[in-house]
Chains A and B, each alone.
Chain A
Amino acid sequence: MVKINTEFRRDRIVLRLDTKKYEWVIEPRYWRNPILGVLVLMVLPLFVYQYPNLLTMITTANLYAAIAIPLGLQIMGTGRMNFGPQFYLGIGGYTAALLNLHFGWGPGATLVATIAVCLAVSLLLSPITWISKGLYFSLITLILPLAFLDVTYVYGDIFRGEVGLSGMSPLFTLGKVSWNYLAYFYCSLLLLLIFLFVSDKIGRSRFGVNLAAINENEDVARMMGVNVNRYKIFYYVLPSVLTGIVAWFIVHTFRTFAGVTYLPLEFMIKILLISVVGGRGFVYGAIPGAYLIVGLDEALRGLGTINYFIYPLVLAILIIILAPKEGVYGLFHRHHYRDYYASMKVRRE
């Protein structure tokens, strides 16, 4: 029988499970900045709700951030650079879409199926995090989504190749189209915030401390008693499942899903750019990074063909300026240091 003891203190909640002890800091001042950030995101659509394009844009930014947050966690936790996070976007998206279209499964059932399939595939592939090191891991992860993209063409009768699948049932429908846009924005925000909360909690737990150690030097971490392989499986599987959930959301929100949109290199580069520009070492960095990249993409689209030169140029300048400062969030973090553990700094170059 497991003994459970919960203790509420002024600044924290203490939970004891047998011989294990966990603490959660609830002191409001440590939550001030995240709460302010969430409020800004919640108020934002009220200013743009009359413009469906803008609303779709910031919904897309939320979804991109929701992919980049677990990716950041994965890159640090496995100590490897994953060049194919969108592979699980494809797996999750097609699972949800096919089950919905061919078997009539509702969004609830497809969510469970998406999680189960992503979990199974990522568990099956997780040994690559120990077997392949450095460049080899990056190459394998780079190949996976591209191979899957080819599969969607080869088995065009199932995946509908370039056209993709469409007509999946929506999560919900409201009376007016503009309300739908607004509701989907808030749903995407909720998804993003759940991912952020989960990632932040992991980062501030003993899992996070071990994540930092593995990211620094996994051989030394082993010597200090860290079961590196177990952690690597965790940090490969969890972000993969979270990415699959984003795909499920896309399927039931946009009601169309094509591998050609999400599986090619361009999409992956966008996600990696969000991580780098936002701040690779911080889970929060994905949000400003996603809004910046998606906003820039939309703003420069009006320039016409010259956009093909201007967009990469602006991105290169952003990376040169922001990468050494640890991204947009790194700039902020440097001047507004408010972590609970004053010493828990993990700086990335």
Chain B
Amino acid sequence: MTRPTVDLRPASLPPNPSPRPLITQLARPQVMALAAVLLVNWLLFPGFFSITWQDGRFFGSLIDVLNRGAPVAILAIGMTAVIATKGVDLSVGAVMAISGAVAAVLVTNGVSAPVAVLAALGAGLLCGLWNGILVTVLEIQPIIATLVLMVAGRGLAQLITEGTIVTFSDPVLIFIGTGSFLGFPMPVVIALVLMLAATLIVRRTALGLLIEAVGVNRSAARFAGLSANALLLIVYTFAGLCAAIAGLIVAGDIRGADANNAGLWLELDAILAVVIGGTSLMGGRFSIPMAVLGAVIIQAMNTGILISGFSPQFNLVVKSAVIIVILVLQSPLMAQAFRRRPSATPSKPGTQE
């Protein structure tokens, strides 16, 4: 049989469409979950969908969800690649603190903002490279290897800030956290650009496939002639870079570097976003846009609970309940139940692009 993939496509689609029709894209559990969360938010707070234009930028609860969700979304972009290789990066929260601390301390010492930003990004790259070396050269399990920097990183950040909250008034740094571009908050713009760039890079080059191959079977990857170690180094370094960007945004937002609290526990939100996005912790198939969507779902829940007047204590419980529902929807059991329906479009969970 030759080219069966072509034969199986509905005739109405263009010659070489994305392998998944739009309707199944929309029917994904993540999209439905987001719609449900937004709907509940709207029921609890009727003004949820209203967006206003003020001072040259958009305002509204939806914009706020995107803005607040951006740091986790950015972390999730890097985390997706790491998890696709069957790894995990627990250090990204601490790397955020380091990056913020580096930028803040440099600008308060009179270094120009662009240099400070580059230094912060460089610090993130180094942190990621460190993780990558532990995982590849020393062959430490990723969860332990990155735990080292998760603990030590926050200490490093505190050493850099000398234990204080370093505040700054540098307009460039503040713009990164609170500015706007074409009416949208900078964090949202940065996350979106990063998401598009990362997706394009992994899908237009062979990186995506090779990362998936390493995640599915590292031994077979070696036998097939892949440089698995080089790929892992890149992936962890990229996660460090993403963490540094998120760290800059958070620092710019509060106009200071708080080594104790910047990015605290956000690594867990990022992992959650990736998992909600359908990338398995067992490695293999991954989707960066879906992980970003996962981050938006998490933030939509946080914001919804806040603005609806419930006490924030509800937040964690409701969050976990929603997450359980999403994960059940994604489980192989449900996929099987869906497949049994005669009209269902043949779909393989987790295959996209």
Q: Do A and B come from one complex?
A: no
A binding-site residues for B, Cβ under 8 Å: none
B binding-site residues for A, Cβ under 8 Å: none
